[in-house]
Amino acid sequence: MADVGGYALRFALMIATLGMGTAIYAGIKRNAEWTRVSERSLWIVFGCATVAILALLNAFATFDYRLAYVAQHSARSMAIQYRLSALWGGQAGSLLLWLWMLLAYGGACLWFNRDKNRTLMPWVVAVLLANAIFFLVLVNFITDPFERLAAADVASDGAGLNPLLQHPVMMIHPIMLYTGLVGFVVPFAFAFAALVTGELGTHWFRTTRRWTLFPWLFLSIGIMLGGRWAYEVLGWGGYWAWDPVENASFMPWLPATAFLHSVMIQEKRNMLKTWNLLLIGLTYTLCLFGTFLTRSGIVQSVHAFAQSPVFVWVFLGYVLVSAAIFGIAVFLRRGEIRSPNRIESLVSREASFLLNNWVFISLLVWIFTGTLFPVVSEAVQGDRIAVGPGFFPIMAGPLALFLLLLTGIGPLIAWRRASPASLKKQFRWPVVTGAVFAGCAWAFLGKSADYYPVLVWGLGAFAVATIVQEYALAIRARVRKGQENALQAFRALLRKNQQRYGGYIVHLGAVLILVGMAGSVYDIERLENVKTGEDFEIGAYRLEYLTATAIPAQHYGGAVARLAVYRDDQPLAVMTPEKRMYWLEQQPASIPSVYSTLREDLYVTLTAIEADGSATFKVYCNPLVNWIWLGGLVFVLGSIAVMWPHPDRNPEPAAQ
């Protein structure tokens, strides 16, 4: 079966090369028959990639340690779900998964466009197959997932998977990220096709609206799951203290989010054509670059793989060439994509959206700088200098405040130009709500009050009040017509103008996430060594160390401790943090125990069991952290509301 997978990848490379040439010829000649031929070649390549990935999964399932990749990333002691998820635990398998997902997106794109966009499709297919060819070259010649070990090197068991990756979230998180990162190839391909053919109106981005929202949603889910994994597995050290490669998935999310906002300006006012093309090009380039960061190993991470100079230069070269070709295409069409309209007033919705875009790009530049600084410092000085978690909030904090402000302001301002009377009417209640909430928070916190969380919570209340006001006005207007109740009116708003009113739900989720993150200012951290029966306090909690017992023998050993948790002498829970040692991998891992409420998390890790029988615990009290996961859920529901297909797509004007 493994041999079949290897042959399938070689055959796929040949067909993809022929198909790309055919697609380019069809695009130049505008030949419908050759376009169909190129599309069929993509289907064949997709079939070959499917055979290859099934062959590799079979190798993991059947302990085929003749394959170097299987031997390096799995072991007989691992549960079947972790053996199968080891497919993306290393470089070769993760690239094969990227290739398969790219072709799956390509196949879906061809199916939905089989009877439309015929002048664009040959160039779309050419872009899809060009990307496929690159990854096929990698998995055929540079990092082959079906590479066989010499007979003398084949062992009866494998080396196992990094214990930090043996976590339920890691079976889902990479799939979500890949679904997001790879999916941006479709809008990228359509944008490039529009540049080549000169069809530069609104059609290309209207066609790809859901093709952009779908990967953006899954990338958002992947980022949230990555945050949850880092919270539970890496040991809590605060935001930005987690795996730096998580930034590689966040960076393309920023221009993609900016694009989803600015494209509304092009749709409403026929502006920012060049900017929107650059944003979608930047998004996919960063998707490739983020994959390069992880797969090249130039950024130190539990996700990173071993460096290979050939791989590094080939992958980086492809990223730069892709960006250059797209940039040249934009430059050559600069005269045709120059927008005829301009922003008429700084007090307008389009101006607020443009400011929103600048904030997202500023965040991108800052995070990019912090993530790549160790690499640059090593290249220039010979020493790898890490910036540390404290670097990122220097700019990210103020920019997040500005984003919150714009989230509340944007819906309240009219397109083109807002009058003073409408501004006074629209802003009155949201501003009062935000000010009152911030004042109450300051008074409640007293001497411990800090300006940053108070500002976040005040601006968050302002943004939520804006959302509530927008819904209330629109629902009341529909109810007054006498044909709907409030619930029916709410559903009608999401059906008739889901981009706007579903977007408000997304904004609500984002506000909740930022509100939760602001609570980190009041995090409490303790490191305590206690003997059996002793207790200690953190915040409002008292923890009593009961006992520690050995973990039953399996593919890891260690100890599990038991602590009784009290608040005001009332028993709340028994927490059971673990300290593990994975025998095969010879790597330790701490499994935290978390007592969660909507107010805060009590987070305990077992650091060590000492020779005298005492135990050392690291304990955190993390206020509002569960608002982040609640906000993530609301964010996802809002995104689904925006994407949900409805028969009636004609928006109705909302009540003002």
The domain segmentation of the chain, as residue ranges, is 2-338+346-383, 396-520+629-643, 522-627
State residue 290's pLDDT score. 87
Contact 310, 363 (CB under 8 A): no
pLDDT of residue 200: 85
CA distance 273 to 334: 10
Report the pLDDT value the prediction gives residue 21, as an integer from 0 to 100.
Answer: 97
pLDDT recorded at residue 624? 92
* Nearest to 100, CA basis, from 31, 26, 176, 179: 179
Pairing, β 615-623 against β 524-530: antiparallel
pLDDT at 233: 78
Q: Give the Å distances, CA to CA, from 331 to 185, 320, 335.
A: 20, 16, 8
Residues of the chain with pLDDT under 70: 234-245, 297, 299-307, 378-379, 382, 553, 646-656
Determine the pLDDT at residue 655.
39
Q: Give the model's pLDDT for residue 158.
A: 87
pLDDT digits (tens, 9 = 90+) for 572-587: 999 999 998 888 878 8
Which CATH number is 522-627's, of 2.40.128, 3.40.1390, 2.60.40, 2.60.98? 2.60.98
Could you give the residue ranges of the DSSP H alpha helices within 184-298?
185-197, 203-207, 209-233, 246-269, 273-296
Q: Helix, strand or coil for residue 498?
A: helix
* Three-class DSSP category at 445: helix
Indicate the SS3 state at residue 564.
strand
